[in-house]
């Protein structure tokens, strides 16, 4: 369809390939645009019943183009030219997110065939597919943390959905690279195959042989059951990345990567600090200025009678409330009976 993405349709199966083999299919603006346009075109093509998504050459996708990061390392902080929180009318995603989410939105099933590297944004593109078939020796990583960034191409929602919260956090916090075999073991990939493209094509043909209406309906229902508030999640991804990108810590992470040294430990940026939560006491008990009604007071408080006992005399602050009985005076203290006289 473009020089960045190629499409060939045969017997109802669309073979979609990232086409920058000299760059390991690294992502640039033109690739994002090509992926989004390709997905929109396939969604409108009734002859397509299943899609195989792969990469030309030695890798599925090595992530974002290194040239952009090299420029950031040399230019320093403050590069935030584009507003990544902007959305086109009717979209819940920005362009980078749409390059991934378009495959989940596609009514036809999408099978990603992953070989070589699937790093950072490249992994997130694979996560946009319905099924992932990987080579056992493929290399996958949520690499963004190494650049001082976060997964911002719908990856946070997909990771939680596929591997659970704890594993998703481990992969994201460490940026660790795992093999295709390990990806299958933890649920990040569906299954492994020595030739993932051939296996994905065979599966796509099997799916294409079923009722297209039933297959599309099943995908819609399964997506609906799994998805939560995606619009809010995707916007929060963009806001968080916008706060990080070009910040001193993030630029230092990029420079350290190219210098092959550990990054300097900088102070935590205010850009990513969440607002302080209100205390439970404050939430549960409003102050006097926020009360809408005054406290109700009793018009006739009970009469208080001091009990004259040695215990209360030793502790004069103690008192006990007794209801006052009409027609009765104050209660007289109880006298100790005198001992009877004994005749001698």
Which are the catalytic amino acids? Answer: 144
Contact 171, 14 (CB under 8 A): no
Contact 192, 135 (CB under 8 A): yes
CA 5, 108, 10: angle at the middle one, nearest 5? 60
Contact 127, 152 (CB under 8 A): no
Burial category of 9 from C-beta neighbours within 10 Å (exposed 0-12, middle 13-18, buried 19 and up)? middle
**Cα–Cα distance between 54 and 235 in angstroms, integer?**
27
H or E element, residue 45:
none
The sheet with strand 177-179 has its strands ordered as: 117-119, 139-141, 177-179
Contact 245, 80 (CB under 8 A): yes
**Cα–Cα distance between 308 and 107 in angstroms, integer?**
87
Q: Reduce the DSSP state of residue 9 to 3 states and report it.
A: strand
User: Among 1, 2, 114, 136, which residue's Cα sits nearest to residue 62?
Assistant: 114
Contact 2, 95 (CB under 8 A): no
């Amino acid at each position: 369809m473009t020089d960045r993405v190629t499409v060939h349709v045969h017997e109802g199966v669309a073979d979609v390939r990232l086409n920058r083999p000299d760059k390991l299919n690294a992502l640039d603006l033109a690739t994002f645009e090509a992926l989004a346009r390709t997905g929109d075109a396939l969604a409108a093509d009734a002859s397509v019943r299943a899609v195989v998504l792969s990469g030309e050459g030695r890798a599925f996708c090595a992530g974002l183009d290194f040239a952009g990061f090299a420029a950031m390392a040399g230019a320093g902080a403050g590069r935030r030219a584009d507003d990544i929180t902007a959305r086109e009318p009717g979209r819940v995603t920005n362009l980078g997110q749409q390059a991934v989410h378009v495959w989940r939105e596609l009514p036809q099933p999408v099978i990603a065939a992953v070989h070589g590297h699937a790093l950072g944004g490249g992994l997130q593109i694979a996560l946009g597919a319905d099924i992932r078939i990987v080579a056992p020796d493929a290399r996958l990583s949520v690499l963004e943390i190494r650049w001082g960034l976060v997964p911002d191409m719908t990856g946070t929602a997909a990771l939680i959905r596929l591997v659970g919260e704890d594993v998703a956090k481990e992969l994201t916090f460490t940026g660790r690279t795992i093999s295709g075999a390990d990806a299958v073991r933890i649920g990040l990939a569906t299954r492994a195959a020595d030739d993932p493209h051939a296996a994905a094509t065979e599966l796509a043909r099997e799916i294409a042989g079923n009722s297209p209406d039933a297959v599309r309906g099943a995908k819609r229902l399964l997506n609906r059951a799994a998805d939560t508030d995606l619009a809010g999640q995707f916007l929060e991804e963009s806001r968080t990345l916008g706060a990080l990108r070009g910040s001193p810590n993030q630029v230092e992470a990029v420079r350290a990567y190219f210098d092959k040294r550990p990054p300097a430990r900088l102070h935590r940026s205010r850009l990513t600090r969440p607002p302080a939560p209100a205390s439970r006491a404050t939430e549960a008990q409003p102050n006097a200025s926020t009360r809408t009604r005054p406290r109700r007071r009793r018009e006739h408080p009970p009469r208080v009678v001091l009990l004259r006992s040695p215990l209360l005399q030793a502790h004069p602050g103690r008192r006990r409330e007794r209801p006052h009985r009409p027609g009765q005076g104050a209660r007289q203290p109880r006298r100790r009976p005198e001992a009877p006289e004994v005749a001698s």
